[in-house]
Amino acid sequence: MRLLILGGTQFLGKHITESALKAGHEVTLFNRGKTNTALFPAVKKLTGDRNDDLSALEEGSWDAVIDVSGYVPSQVRKTAELLKDRVRHYTFVSTISVYSDFSKGPAIEEYTPLGELEEETEEVNGATYGPLKQKSEEVVKSVYGKESLIIRPGLIVGPDDPTDRFTYWVWRASKGGTAVAPGKPSRQVQWIDVRDLSEWMIRMVEKQENGTYNAAGAKPFPTMEEYLTTAKRVTNSDVDFIWVEDETLKNHEVSPFVEVPFWIPVSAEIPDGFILADTTRATQKGLTFRPLEETISDTYLWLSSRENHEWKAGMTEEKEKNILSDVQS
């Protein structure tokens, strides 16, 4: 197939490109030409901007487009309408953050309410990210109809992850010593390895599948204790995790999912202490999940190769010491 990937050089886009090339497809990338420009030297690259310069996409035809870089409806509409007569199938990467209600447990695409914007805006922030993605989904479906495929990932993890959320806990386990573990050991968490997601997406595109699918992680959901214990074992560490209750973490004013990745305080809105999504429909279409040990091991190897990295998630050593001092006093 001739595939057009909007993005294609960072994390998920990079792995989708790799999966497409491995499957033997002819790939064209369209992006701003600012990130990982040395990647894929043999691939055709078109340079432009989703907001104000689509001229590089005015010519050419492809069997399918995979949109990894669309965040706001106007941006997505311009691209979809421009490509409509020259690209048969449109895949849009959305997010499980489109859902508005996690109070009854894992979100299921068929009936879970979707979030709405409180006021019209295209400014992307924590409150608008999900609703803007949802509006972008509607744009794709309105332009492409039954030739549209909507993928809603949850937390994407693995090698090349720029967010450091999953990576932080792998690193913290490997460092050893005494470490803070957030919330209850039995709290369920969820993620999807970027390679499982990208390989499955390419298979879905090959079959020209349509509809909407959560792609967020395997059931039964692993617990935070299973995750940290596995990270300890895989990194051959002697780390001692001390479990710290939500109230203590809140008292220390830690930022959920930033300073303490994989932690959200339990509330009426999020009783599970984590945003979870049911992936039954996706697994029925062939989505599979590699063992946690493999994801941790490969993330650890990748982490070990990084130099002069500025962490985007995780606690400072000082804050962790303060919390442990409070708990142990």
Query: Which residue ranges form the domains of the chain, and what is each CATH number?
Result: 2-153 (3.40.50.720), 165-189+222-274+292-328 (3.90.25)
Q: What is the rounded CA–CA span in Å between residue 182 and residue 190?
A: 15
Rg of the chain, C-alpha, whole Å: 20
For 197-231, write each residue's pLDDT tens digit: 999 999 999 999 999 999 999 989 999 999 999 99
| Tokens linked to 158 | 């693995």
pLDDT at 294 over 90: yes
CA-CA-CA-CA torsion sign (242, 277, 198, 80): negative
Pairwise CA distance, residues 243 & 263, whole Å:
12
- Which tens digits make up the pLDDT trace of 22-81? 999 999 999 999 999 999 999 999 999 999 999 999 999 999 999 999 999 999 999 999
pTM: 0.96
Q: What is the pLDDT of residues 103-158, one digit of tens each?
A: 888 888 777 889 988 889 999 999 999 999 999 999 999 999 999 999 999 999 99
